Amino acid sequence: MLSSCRELISKLSKCKHIVIVHHWDSDGISSAALLSRIFNDRELSFLVPKIGLYSANAIDLGNLAPSKNTIIILLDYGLPPDEVIRLRRMVDSEVAVIDHHVNEALGRLFCNPIALGCPEDDYPSTTWVLKEILDVSGHEDLVALGVIGDVGRFIRSYEISSWVNDVCSKYGLTINDLIKASGIIDTCYRLIDYKCIDYAREVLTSKSVREVLRSRRLLGKYLRLREEIAKALNNAEVTDVDRVIKLFRVNSDSYITSCIGRELARKFKDKVIVLCHEVRKLGMSYIYVRSHKYILRHVLQGLKSKGLKVGGKDRVLVITCRNNRCDELDTLLRTLKLYLE
Q: Which CATH class is domain 3-218?
A: alpha beta
Angle between helix axes 175-190 and 161-171 (nearest 10 degrees) is: 90
For each of the chain's 341 residues, which pLDDT tens digit applies?
Answer: 677 888 888 888 888 899 999 999 999 999 999 999 999 988 999 999 999 888 999 999 876 655 667 899 999 999 988 999 999 888 878 899 999 987 888 878 899 999 888 888 899 999 999 999 999 999 999 999 999 999 988 898 899 999 999 999 999 999 999 999 999 999 999 999 999 999 999 999 999 999 999 999 999 999 999 999 999 999 999 999 999 999 999 988 899 998 899 899 999 999 999 999 988 888 889 999 999 999 999 999 999 999 888 888 889 999 988 777 788 999 999 999 998 87
**CATH topology classification for 235-340:** Diaminopimelate Epimerase; Chain A, domain 1 (3.10.310)
Rounded Cα distance between 314 and 336, Å, is: 13
Task: Answer yes or no: same fold for 3-218 and 235-340.
Answer: no
Length in residues, the chain: 341
Complete edge-to-edge strand list for the sheet that includes strand 43-47 = 43-47, 17-22, 70-75, 94-98, 110-111
**Pair 173, 203: CB distance under 8 Å:** no
Strand partners, 273: 246, 290
Task: Give the global pTM.
Answer: 0.82
Instruction: Give Cβ neighbours of residue 222 (< 8 Å, ≥ 6 apart).
Output: 183, 184, 187
User: Dihedral through CA 158, CA 20, CA 182, CA 304, nearest 10?
Assistant: -60
Domain residue limits, the chain: 3-218, 235-340
Degrees to nearest 5, angle at CA 300 with 294 and 301: 125
